[in-house]
Structure 1
């Protein structure tokens, strides 16, 4: 389905009102592939395990509140409060966000009857980050008209507005799809119903309200990848946004909320039971993986990514070769998305995006030809081309040149840091 959402009104973390919107697109559910979530994670820089006494508020040093009603740009029905009956610890290591049906007119709401209250927590004033891993383990609510979300907004929203600030929806679920979650990007030219993303559906009729699940985004320069329970279900790069501007290279803050009603989920009906609860076991953020000490990149037949002859001249071929511990096989993963050896960068020849473009060593220059991301599925991807580092001809012989090629999941495109 197509969704169009007008710009919303929001009070961001007790600061001045800023335009914020929560939106999503319908799910596209590709066949999931097993993934080892952990490849790109650097040091843990934010964590809330929600340990504390039952009935206490979440840590004010980490979480603030959006407060109010007004539909939030989506014709939602709830009024967000900072009351512990809408957001509190349960004493068992969880934060519980509770949507309740209330007496009409409570909380001085000026929109509709405000018969529902809930909570919306955010880190706009406490924590922002560019790139890294963002993850939460949650048990979702259920019911028609119920809309939980774990998402992020660019911290420049107060200056540039939405969607220019960018939005990364890590997880959204609507009650009429109890087995499906969505991950979506919004930016200029691809917002609202034109947001770019995908969806994941649990197998065998399982429902997200029946058990805890882990929702993860790996965010690297030029690539954002979504996982559910360690299974990669979507990955987007600048090549996926139709020539529009990629706005995901600056700090973002996190938001967790439980909405009631709205354009996308529809309103509660006679089948909807209240209260409903979004139960959060933890929220953790890892810094971008800058690689630390350098090391090998191994692939087909256990052989290494190697600079031919240890040459340092621009254009020296990068190849597959038996691992030997030399500097020609010692690669450092830099924070700017480049991968480096012998003082130069892994580079796609001529900045090409074509299948078969050769990979070489070249003076580091910050271009898209030198950006790489290692996905949870162990694909080493050049986001500019949206293609994988590939062993030419699936040939494991020493000195086989490396190239980029459309990602196909074969062994000749799988790479491991060691």
Structure 2
């Protein structure tokens, strides 16, 4: 079983905003974000999030009572939102099964932000343990009128604690909901656990397809053909949800091995627009550079942008190399403004803005040193420095290192993607 929506108390009327300033040359247009900057112990921003309450089980026989308390959802003062599941000490809280055993939090943007299409991304460190169930997901903005599952559900990330190395991405709609949802799992290599570190979970959603990724690695794509003649309901705005459930039909209940409190730590949530995106509420709406595109990046002399030694280690230099089609030369220009290969991001070393600053591969962290704009003039410009990707010394030699430099329109700063 997958997450099932609790009914909203009332339908919300959403009005589409007009287009933002023309950014057709940009790789992405940010329409909404929460970086969770604020004082330690403060509540989530109420202009962005609504905290749900109740212990009705959410259609899944979950065991937690969702509260508005900062004991269950608060900023940590280090740029994170922490959602905490605790053993309940309030005898007055009643759940569907009697006295509530646990408290936790669930946040949504139903009344503040919705969007159709684009990139929806969060960087999260999940909890661990049998019976814990963290999720980052979306529901259709017509939930109040159409009901679930007719409104649609996109689960960007779900984890059940008994599977520490796996997360699930799923769609639910009419005729393919609950246990019949359509999706796939992504498993970390080498027996690693998601609870050991932060990971970036995202979907890139267009009218034709939804693609899921973990740390920049795409692992499934769903299209209208996948619903086998049933209705494809991913054609209207959705809102965002973050929650940490305890127990339920899918994960099962906590056992003696599960310690509490458990925390789901969210570094950021970001939404970017694609060509077809329509956002309401906190976003600006508008026209961006389109959905993600993947392929070789060719520069001066027809040479390819390449990760030296095909290494995915942080700080690996980026260079020119003869084009050979290997993964070290397959780059994704994401709708979020990143340029990714081997699961990591193209990065200006040290966040430098100086001419000659080296470009490297580094774990994706959302900084401006990893934000790029690919223009119609074929410049690849770093947002943080406002400078162009540049082949040193105007050279096309194999092994030429790449850097940033003041944009000059020269051949060593021109790039072709795909």
TM tier, shorter chain?
0.5 to 0.7
Aligned residue number for residue 161 of structure 1:
147
Aligned residue number for residue 42 of structure 2:
56
Distance 1:297 1:251, change over 3 A: closer
Q: Distance in 2 between matches of 1:96 and 1:238?
A: 36
Question: Which segments of 5 or more consecutive residues in structure 2 lack a partner in the other structure?
Answer: 13-24, 276-286, 303-415
| 3-state SS, counterpart of residue 234 of structure 1 | strand
* Superposed displacement of residue 167, structure 1: 0.3
Q: Is the 8 A contact 1:96 1:278 kept in 2?
A: yes
Distance 1:155 1:40, change over 3 A: farther
Aligned residue number for residue 144 of structure 1:
130
Q: Distance in 1 between matches of 2:215 and 2:107?
A: 23
Question: What is the correspondence of 1:269-308 to structure 2 with a 5 Å cutoff?
Answer: 269-289=255-275, 290=287
Residue 252 (structure 1) aligned to one of 226, 233, 238? 238
Q: Is the 8 A contact 2:136 2:157 kept in 1?
A: yes
* Superposed displacement of residue 65, structure 1: 1.3
| 3-state SS, counterpart of residue 128 of structure 1 | strand
1:268-326 deviation digits (Å, cap 9, x = unpaired): 00000000000000000001145559xx99989999xxxxxxxxxxxxxxxxxxxxxxx
1:142-167 deviation digits (Å, cap 9, x = unpaired): 00000000000000011111111000
- Does residue 216 (structure 1) correspond to residue 205 (structure 2)? The answer is no
Aligned residue number for residue 107 of structure 1:
93
Q: Distance in 2 between matches of 1:17 and 1:100?
A: 31
Q: Distance in 2 between matches of 1:176 and 1:73?
A: 21
Q: Distance in 1 between matches of 2:156 and 2:180?
A: 17
Runs of 4+ in structure 1 off by over 6 angstroms are: 296-303
Query: Under a length normalisation based on structure 2, what TM-score does the superposition of the two structures give?
Result: 0.62
1:36-88 deviation digits (Å, cap 9, x = unpaired): xxx99630011111011100001000000111011110000000000000000
Aligned residue number for residue 182 of structure 1:
168
| 3-state SS, counterpart of residue 124 of structure 1 | coil
- Does residue 236 (structure 1) correspond to residue 222 (structure 2)? The answer is yes
Aligned residues: 280
* Superposed displacement of residue 193, structure 1: 1.1
| 3-state SS, counterpart of residue 195 of structure 2 | coil
Q: Distance in 2 between matches of 1:187 and 1:49?
A: 31
1:4-34 deviation digits (Å, cap 9, x = unpaired): 88x6544x4xx4499xxxxxxxxxxxxxxxx
Q: Distance in 1 between matches of 2:244 and 2:157?
A: 12
- Does residue 205 (structure 1) correspond to residue 216 (structure 2)? The answer is no
Question: What is the correspondence of 1:91-102 to structure 2 with a 5 Å cutoff?
Answer: 91-102=77-88
Aligned residue number for residue 31 of structure 1:
none
Q: Distance in 2 between matches of 1:178 and 1:241?
A: 29
Query: Under a length normalisation based on structure 1, what TM-score does the superposition of the two structures give?
Result: 0.62
| 3-state SS, counterpart of residue 181 of structure 1 | strand
Q: Is the 8 A contact 1:81 1:117 kept in 2?
A: yes
* Superposed displacement of residue 107, structure 1: 2.7
| 3-state SS, counterpart of residue 240 of structure 1 | helix
1:206-263 deviation digits (Å, cap 9, x = unpaired): 1000000000100001100000000000100011111111000100000000000000
* Superposed displacement of residue 200, structure 1: 0.4
Distance 1:110 1:262, change over 3 A: closer
Q: Is the 8 A contact 2:57 2:95 kept in 1?
A: no
Question: What is the correspondence of 1:19-418 to structure 2 with a 5 Å cutoff?
Answer: 42-103=28-89, 105-109=91-95, 111-289=97-275, 290=287, 417=417
Q: Distance in 2 between matches of 1:62 and 1:417?
A: 36
| 3-state SS, counterpart of residue 230 of structure 2 | coil
Distance 1:257 1:214, change over 3 A: same
